[in-house]
């Protein structure tokens, strides 16, 4: 738009419509940051649903199993 100057703000060239529609699309679908957060949240939910049995590392540090102790 800046290359074409003020004429690009009129309906003479299709660049005006493309920029207007592109901005409308971003407003309609939500900001990029919000969409990224939603996608990350859904991806995390999928991964956590498929996750197998995992050890609780913090609990292991507090109360280690006797057979895992290799020191005095």
Nearest to 55 by CA among 46, 68, 43: 68
- pLDDT confidence of 49, banded at 50, 70, 90? confident
- How many degrees, rounded to 5, is the angle at CA 27 between CA 25 and CA 28? 65
Average pLDDT over residues 65-72: 66
Q: In this predicted model, which residue has the larger pLDDT, 1 or 70?
A: 70
Measured distance CA(26)–CA(19) in Å, rounded = 11
> Any idea where the domains of the chain sit in the sequence?
1-50
Tokens of 4: 């074409």
What is the model's pTM? 0.34
- pLDDT confidence of 12, banded at 50, 70, 90? confident
Cα end-to-end span (Å), the chain: 74
Q: In this predicted model, which residue has the larger pLDDT, 12 or 44?
A: 44
């Amino acid at each position: 738009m800046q290359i074409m100057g003020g004429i690009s703000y009129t309906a003479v060239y299709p660049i005006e419509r493309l920029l207007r529609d592109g901005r409308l699309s971003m407003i309609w679908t939500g900001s990029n940051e919000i969409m990224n957060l939603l996608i990350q949240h859904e991806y995390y939910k999928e991964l956590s649903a498929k996750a197998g049995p995992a050890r609780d590392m913090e609990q292991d540090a507090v109360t280690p199993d006797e057979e895992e102790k290799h020191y005095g």
